[in-house]
Structure 1
């Protein structure tokens, strides 16, 4: 039976067949069919049509994040979208009052690939609802928008990375418009990151001038060799009034190759360090919404207090990890002295050399945050039995503790049993990630004996059972550090 084509089918066929004839913005397309036609054009990889349709978009809200999930080549389609947005900006009429908001898809490889352990990742992925990204609720506005007035203001909503690479279409679009002296759209970004391969500083400053800085919630600076970046960014910090997460990572390199040693020398002169941290940290007092401070592989020795003294609002999480030197007494004193650390839920001091620390100061730090501490990471810190015994009294006060990591250190079986006895959970589960004790292995055999492993695990299970705790215990092989550690999940019965 013959079925006539619908008007939509005819419009779609006409649009695709005449792609080669399209040289500029299309005639106005009704809002009722524009979104469906646009989706069809993307699925057909019709780049010219996509650019022309974007330039003539009649909507006030365009959710590319959802639409481009079905595109056959999202990168080329995104390039066509930005081409259309450029045409729209260049041809906008004077005194136009309409606004188009475009929700961009996440850029690939935008963020640093942090080496989070599965337990850490689980914690951060299960944060309370109020800490989650605001992007998802806004997707509900994807319903077919009413026609708008000619565009006078274009707003792009999406994360912004200043790392120049082929897949970073947003930065390519913005950089080209700056170099051509053209107007930029408004940028509403939740996350902003700076890395190596940066654009020229005048280009960065011009783009930052279009960013709604009061909407930025995460700022990440990592793997940069140019200290001028921190000096350039310092004046912008007071305007980041809703910043919740600040991450500084790999701003120095550990000694290794001759090139690395030269870079280390560039960063780590006392005079230059003083200038870097004074200029940056003096602005932190304006960050009254800051909840997460992560300092990883940053030359901090003796400078932790410079970051903490300017923060007035209590932090929720603090990471001081992989510092390329030993933390000093003043650093630990700062952790227990300033109000911003009084309500920490997460304290990560992993991969620091704490072998020669004053363990009493570490115990004081844990005591201070025992009422709120949810995650404590002391893994790979060069700690011994004596250190663990010294902080047991403080650990026993951490009733909210869900995860304690101590792997990569040295403890014996008797000390581990003392730890388990002192840290029985009260009313919730608790995961302990601990080193495999040396005296739990067979000294006469280089190959681990699984029968000895089984006896050791059964002994721990029996101990916890006698204490009224249901447990799951298993040995994990850490391929990165070529070591074995045990995970002890305790559930109060």
Structure 2
């Protein structure tokens, strides 16, 4: 017969407090700080709204990471409203409570996970009060003749941290509630957002929400909207206020035939000039942005920091754009470069070769899928590829490359010790020359040849081939070493 371990003294104390709501609330002023996290977790689980409301007002730490507990959507609203009501009471007081230390209410679900697991005893480790205060330092009161000054000091605003996803027809009770409170207490409550994602939503709704957000708190922005250039021009001034951006993704910004070309140019300049505010930008993703051709230099010359990631995908570029890119001083520390879906077929490969050479010391991931690169172009950039000593991943499917050039690639990159993931295009020899149908027997032979070359060099023999997309279903046949066929494939 097995017996369960007796409850710990801490658990007994929490149970005792929760059994009497008035006792729990009355004891908060004298409760040791170490008891607050386990008591808060228990009150949250049991939906003790009045206790939660009172605990927010007496919270003894600088940060309350409530988002780490919000895993069950069914009682988010009730418990969240209790916490926000406690914050309302706190901010409405003319005299600061004795134990008020709360500066940040963090509602992000993926932040401070260790805080609750350590305090609950489910994780081995020590989260000391000193560490918590170091993460969110408290400004000490000024001293007069060795004593703390008790003159009335203006309240520092409490920050509410959230990750926002703006999407049409999405019922977001949290955002609605927060906006109402920020509107009422604008000087005392700041809505901060580290990550912002924008999907299909009327631009006037987006602007209304952004007026409530501290825009300089945004570090990660994704705009996944099919916007006309004029709409994007209306959004651009808000973009410029996000001066602490680290990551920016723009997708499907469209141009439409315009009777006044100068207007189109005005909108482009309005967008590119915002980059002058981004002193910390590290990652830039531009996907299906239709106005880039001939204008990439407008973006590049406004960059204020060296990029670690540049992804320009499914965009039309000119040879002059590539030349500007290869000469841009902010590209010398690239770790991740993607030009997937950018047609390079008729372009001089020299700018791409120069770009790879300049980033050779840092480049780790390179994506040249669906670029229409030919044998002669690929041969021109092979020497630069061989210099990329940090390269770990290289993919260049969807290009018409012969088996001879792939063998040359292996010889050039055999010394790259970190290169472990390469996705090769199925060589042109593996297709039927008349109908362009993939011939699995030939592909198997070519696969075996490359694999043997790797074995002979003492490298791990992992070779992945990717065929052209199926004209019927769009899927690709993969080969390693057995084929993963698209549903439409018919053997010869």
TM-score (norm 1): 0.73
Matched with 1:491 is: none
Matched with 2:295 is: 303
Report the RMSD for the aligned CA atoms in angstroms.
4.2
Relative to structure 1, the CA distance from residue 275 to residue 378 in structure 2 (aligned partners, 3 Å threshold; closer, same or farther) is: same
Relative to structure 1, the CA distance from residue 272 to residue 411 in structure 2 (aligned partners, 3 Å threshold; closer, same or farther) is: same
Once the two structures are overlaid, the 10-residue window that deviates more, 272-281 or 92-101, is 92-101
Q: Which fold has the larger relative contact order, with Cα–Cα distance below 8 Å and residues 6 or more apart in sequence?
A: 1
Matched with 2:275 is: 284
**3-state DSSP class of the match of 1:225?**
strand
Matched with 2:477 is: 484
Contact 2:348 2:377 in 1 (8 A): no
Relative to structure 1, the CA distance from residue 315 to residue 221 in structure 2 (aligned partners, 3 Å threshold; closer, same or farther) is: same
Q: Aligned pair 1:93/2:94, yes or no?
A: yes
Question: What is the CA-CA distance between 1:138 and the residue it aligns to?
Answer: 8.3
What is the CA–CA distance in structure 1 between the aligned matches of 2:268 and 2:81, rounded to whole Å? Answer: 42
Matched with 1:204 is: 209
Length, aligned pairs only: 437
Relative to structure 1, the CA distance from residue 171 to residue 332 in structure 2 (aligned partners, 3 Å threshold; closer, same or farther) is: same
**3-state DSSP class of the match of 1:281?**
helix
Question: What is the CA-CA distance between 1:461 and the residue it aligns to?
Answer: 1.4
What is the CA–CA distance in structure 2 between the aligned matches of 1:228 and 1:138, rounded to whole Å? Answer: 42
Question: What is the CA-CA distance between 1:302 and the residue it aligns to?
Answer: 1.2
Matched with 2:329 is: 339
What is the CA–CA distance in structure 2 between the aligned matches of 1:367 and 1:26, rounded to whole Å? Answer: 68
**3-state DSSP class of the match of 1:355?**
coil
Q: Aligned pair 1:172/2:165, yes or no?
A: no
**3-state DSSP class of the match of 2:317?**
coil
Give the alignment partner of residue 8 of structure 1, picking from 4, 14, 34.
14
Question: Greater Rg, structure 1 or structure 2?
Answer: 2
Q: Aligned pair 1:437/2:427, yes or no?
A: yes
Question: What is the CA-CA distance between 1:158 and the residue it aligns to?
Answer: 3.5
Question: What is the CA-CA distance between 1:301 and the residue it aligns to?
Answer: 1.2
What is the CA–CA distance in structure 2 between the aligned matches of 1:390 and 1:103, rounded to whole Å? Answer: 55
Q: Aligned pair 1:322/2:314, yes or no?
A: yes
Matched with 2:378 is: 388
Contact 1:295 1:319 in 2 (8 A): yes
What is the CA–CA distance in structure 2 between the aligned matches of 1:266 and 1:84, rounded to whole Å? Answer: 51
Question: What is the CA-CA distance between 1:274 and the residue it aligns to?
Answer: 1.7
What is the CA–CA distance in structure 2 between the aligned matches of 1:201 and 1:428, rounded to whole Å? Answer: 44
What is the CA–CA distance in structure 1 between the aligned matches of 2:324 and 2:395, rounded to whole Å? Answer: 22
Matched with 1:405 is: 395
Give the alignment partner of residue 352 of structure 2, picking from 347, 353, 362.
362
Question: What is the CA-CA distance between 1:371 and the residue it aligns to?
Answer: 3.2
Question: What is the CA-CA distance between 1:427 and the residue it aligns to?
Answer: 3.1
What is the CA–CA distance in structure 2 between the aligned matches of 1:203 and 1:72, rounded to whole Å? Answer: 26
What is the CA–CA distance in structure 2 between the aligned matches of 1:46 and 1:307, rounded to whole Å? Answer: 53
Deviations 1:9-53 (A, max 9, x none): 2321333xx9xxx9xx98846345443333223223455654564
Contact 1:359 1:390 in 2 (8 A): yes
Question: What is the CA-CA distance between 1:179 and the residue it aligns to?
Answer: 5.7
Relative to structure 1, the CA distance from residue 137 to residue 321 in structure 2 (aligned partners, 3 Å threshold; closer, same or farther) is: farther
Relative to structure 1, the CA distance from residue 440 to residue 169 in structure 2 (aligned partners, 3 Å threshold; closer, same or farther) is: same
Question: What is the CA-CA distance between 1:290 and the residue it aligns to?
Answer: 1.8
Matched with 2:488 is: none
**3-state DSSP class of the match of 2:157?**
strand
**3-state DSSP class of the match of 2:266?**
helix
Once the two structures are overlaid, the 10-residue window that deviates more, 228-237 or 187-196, is 228-237
Matched with 2:77 is: 76
What is the CA–CA distance in structure 2 between the aligned matches of 1:394 and 1:464, rounded to whole Å? Answer: 20
Matched with 1:353 is: 343
Deviations 1:221-273 (A, max 9, x none): 33153645544543663661x43222222223xxxxxxxxxxx5278974343
What is the CA–CA distance in structure 2 between the aligned matches of 1:135 and 1:87, rounded to whole Å? Answer: 23
Relative to structure 1, the CA distance from residue 61 to residue 370 in structure 2 (aligned partners, 3 Å threshold; closer, same or farther) is: closer
Relative to structure 1, the CA distance from residue 8 to residue 205 in structure 2 (aligned partners, 3 Å threshold; closer, same or farther) is: closer
Question: What is the CA-CA distance between 1:309 and the residue it aligns to?
Answer: 0.6
Once the two structures are overlaid, the 10-residue window that deviates more, 180-189 or 33-42, is 180-189
Contact 2:253 2:288 in 1 (8 A): yes
Relative to structure 1, the CA distance from residue 472 to residue 200 in structure 2 (aligned partners, 3 Å threshold; closer, same or farther) is: closer
Q: Aligned pair 1:43/2:45, yes or no?
A: yes
Contact 1:26 1:52 in 2 (8 A): no
What is the CA–CA distance in structure 1 between the aligned matches of 2:348 and 2:465, rounded to whole Å? Answer: 31
Q: Aligned pair 1:159/2:163, yes or no?
A: yes
What is the CA–CA distance in structure 1 between the aligned matches of 2:310 and 2:114, rounded to whole Å? Answer: 28
Segments of 5+ residues of structure 2 without an aligned counterpart are 1-5, 119-125, 142-152, 482-492
TM-score (norm 2): 0.73
Segments of 5+ residues of structure 1 without an aligned counterpart are 109-133, 253-263, 489-493
Question: What is the CA-CA distance between 1:369 and the residue it aligns to?
Answer: 2.5
